[in-house]
């Protein structure tokens, strides 16, 4: 099994991993999700410290695109409507030049199992379905949307001495121009 210290990149499912799995269907068809800010901080810290990160999800929405961008995950590493997560994981690995054995993939449900088995470290939250917990190399003690991602990222970055945050040069993530301009103008976090 791959050790946390061997991980060079991360790939994540969304629903049930970044979130608790609940979605609110809006009248316009978008699905609203609630993200854990500590999990998101961990991903932004990983990106800012040189770890390529991907989102590989069967879901799709404009709000997911905006969330990925705010985490420093560009369109080239955002795989929505994924039907074959293992193939998308391989594509990500080729694109960033890492071996799948150097990637931690986090999933919580049956469509995630092939990617988890392909990755060097298949991870799931404590509340993943039974089949995923059985397939996982490591099961976090935290539920999806409740610290699972933070737990993993810290376990990978800290032994590599890459758990660093520079408050004078924060975040490489991006936001829509109107939001960025508003925040710069008002000094408010929006």
Q: What's the whole-model pTM score?
A: 0.86
Position 26 confidence tier, pLDDT thresholds 50, 70, 90: confident
How far is it, in rounded angstroms, from Cα 5 to Cα 28? 44
What domains are there in the chain, each with its CATH number?
4-186 (3.40.50.1000)
Strands 31-32 and 24-25, sheet pairing: antiparallel
How far is it, in rounded angstroms, from Cα 30 to Cα 132? 27
> What pLDDT sits at residue 187?
56
Task: Return the H-helix or E-strand segment holding 68.
Answer: helix 62-70
> What pLDDT sits at residue 171?
55
> What pLDDT sits at residue 163?
92
**Model confidence at 146: pLDDT above 90:** yes
Span 20-32, average pLDDT: 83
DSSP labels for 123-177? EE-TTS-HHHHHH-SEE-SSPTTTTHHHHHHHHHHTTTT-----TTS-------H
Task: Return the H-helix or E-strand segment holding 32.
Answer: strand 31-32
Q: Which of the pair, 101 or 172, is modelled with greater confidence?
A: 101
Counting Cα atoms < 13 Å in the Cβ hemisphere of 158 gives: 7
How far is it, in rounded angstroms, from Cα 38 to Cα 146? 8
């Amino acid at each position: 099994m791959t050790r946390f210290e061997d991980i060079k990149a991360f790939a994540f499912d969304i629903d049930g991993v970044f979130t608790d799995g609940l979605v609110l269907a809006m009248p316009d068809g978008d699905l609203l999700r609630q993200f854990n800010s500590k999990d998101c901080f961990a991903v932004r810290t990983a990106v800012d410290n040189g770890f390529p990160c991907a989102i590989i999800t069967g879901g799709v929405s404009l709000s997911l695109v905006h969330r990925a961008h705010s985490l420093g995950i560009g369109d080239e590493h955002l795989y929505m409507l994924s039907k074959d997560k293992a193939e998308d994981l391989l594509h990500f690995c080729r694109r960033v030049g890492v071996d799948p054995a150097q990637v931690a993939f986090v999933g919580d449900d049956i469509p995630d199992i092939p990617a988890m088995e392909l990755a060097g470290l298949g991870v799931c939250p404590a509340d993943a379905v039974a089949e995923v917990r059985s397939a996982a190399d490591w099961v976090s003690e935290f539920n999806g949307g409740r610290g699972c991602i933070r737990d993993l990222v810290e376990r990978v970055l800290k032994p590599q001495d890459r758990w660093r945050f520079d408050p004078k040069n924060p975040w490489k993530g991006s936001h829509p121009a109107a939001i960025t301009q508003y925040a710069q103008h008002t000094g408010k976090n929006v």
